[in-house]
Amino acid sequence: MRGSLCAGTKRPVNVQSPSSHPRILVCDDLSEVGLDVLRQEGFEVLRRAGLSADELLALVPEVDALLVRSRTRVTDELLAASSRLRLVGRAGYTLDTIDIEAATRSGVVVMHSSLGNEISAAEFAIGLLFSLARRIPQADASMRAGRWDKRRHRGVELTGKTLGVIGMGAVGRNVVQRALALQMHVVVHDPGVPASDVAALGARSVTWDEVLRTSDFISLHVSASERTRGLIGDAAFEQMKDRVRIVNCSRGSVIDEGALVRAIRSGKVAGAALDIWDEEPPVGNPLISMAEVVATPHLVAATFEAQINVAVTLAEQVRDFFLHGSCEGVVNPEVLDAAAEPGAPASALVAAEAGNG
């Protein structure tokens, strides 16, 4: 089911395009399947991949919306350069490259694809679980180096092991379902999800202490925030089972990477599979050279299907925002609240407050 529309009276969002059709700047690689959704409604779509910061700064005052992936950084300076810009859309879920506070100050709505890559992300997390359990990448590298090290790469089974899933949003939910199909015992820690919802999947909702203490494998699926920065650090590792294995497909900042190095060197952590890093690319990061670590370059949503899905989802959200006042995927509802107040800035033109999408 799609998320809620903006409450109250919904109306199209005013634009300043000479043709009265919204002008959309796409400056990263988005699927044409998604962009066709906008073209079919008469939107003017400008594809300008590979713009320099200065080129983007010069072009953004001429558009009503900016659609990006992770390559383009949407800064305070960029947002302040346009009184016309109504919306910044991120094809994907994470928003690390967008200054949301600056967008809110400028009255610019920020939205991301609410759906589209959860299957790819969950499948990748399960793939990393197998890689950790059976040391597949290490065995492959050993063979390519001319060695035949069967004993060195002996692994463990997933069946019957306990998987702790920290964070049960769309991706976490799909990981739970797939792990249960592998006959793993699954425990979930997510204070925002009712225990009954977890139980309905066949898993068990547990406390923070219990998910750390009982899990043989831990898979992280939480968003980046000041509250979650360093969530998995020295104190958390101390509570975990000896020889625990950890998968991170969420945000790099969630793990204290220095603490993880120490936990691996001490033998507390038997292995870690990391797809997302605190700094990307992770130049000089000691984790990459550790034999116990499976390291990948942010591939969690890198499938053909996910790229189409997130582009289509975002395009539908952008279309509905401009044509119907929908706020699906909006992450700064303050802008929508302000639009309903007397004296609201001209750039906040959705006359409604945000729902709970």
Summarised one tens digit per residue, pLDDT across range 156-178 is: 999 999 999 999 999 999 999 99
Cβ 107 vs Cβ 335: under 8 Å: yes
DSSP string, 228-278: TTT-BSHHHHHHSPTTEEEEE-S-GGGB-HHHHHHHHHHTSEEEEEESS-S
262 pLDDT more than 90: yes
Cβ–Cβ < 8 Å for 74, 308: no
Mean pLDDT of 321-343: 79
Three-state secondary structure call for residue 180? helix
What domains are defined for the chain? Answer: 23-116+304-339 (3.40.50.720), 118-295 (3.40.50.720)
Written as six digits, the tokens of 145 are 């180096």
- What tokens does 111 get? 């939205």
DSSP state of 74: B
Which position has the higher pLDDT, 237 or 116?
237
Q: Residues of the chain with pLDDT > 70: what percent?
A: 88
**pLDDT band of 92, cuts 50, 70, 90:** confident
Confidence of residue 236 (pLDDT cuts 50, 70, 90): very high
Integer angstrom CA distances of residue 246 from 93, 134, 174, 195, 221: 22, 14, 17, 23, 12
Q: What are phi and psi of 274, to 5 degrees?
A: -120, 120
| Rounded Cα distance, 75 and 94, in Å | 15
Inter-CA distances, 226 with 14, 102, 222, 230, 251, Å: 35, 17, 12, 9, 12
**Are 115 and 313 within 8 A, CB to CB?**
yes
pLDDT cut 90: percent of the chain above it: 80
Please list the residues that pair with 293 across neighbouring strands. Answer: 272
340, pLDDT greater than 70:
no
**pLDDT at residue number 336:** 80
- With CA atoms as reference, report the closest residue to 317 among 283, 279, 288, 357: 357
Please count the CA atoms within 13 angstroms of the CA of 153 that sit on its side-chain side.
18
Active centre residues (catalytic): 251, 280, 298
Per-residue pLDDT, 345 = 34
pTM: 0.83
Alpha-carbon span 254 to 335, nearest angstrom: 28
For residue 318, give the amino acid letter: V
Alpha-carbon distance of 331 to 321, in angstroms, equals 13
For 347: left if phi > 0, alpha if psi spans -120 to 50, otherwise beta; the answer is alpha
Q: Is residue 274 very low, low, confident or very high in pLDDT (cuts 50, 70, 90)?
A: very high
Token reading at 324: 């119907």
**Distance between CA atoms of residues 272 and 44, nearest Å:** 46
The span from the CA of 70 to the CA of 227, in Å, is: 22
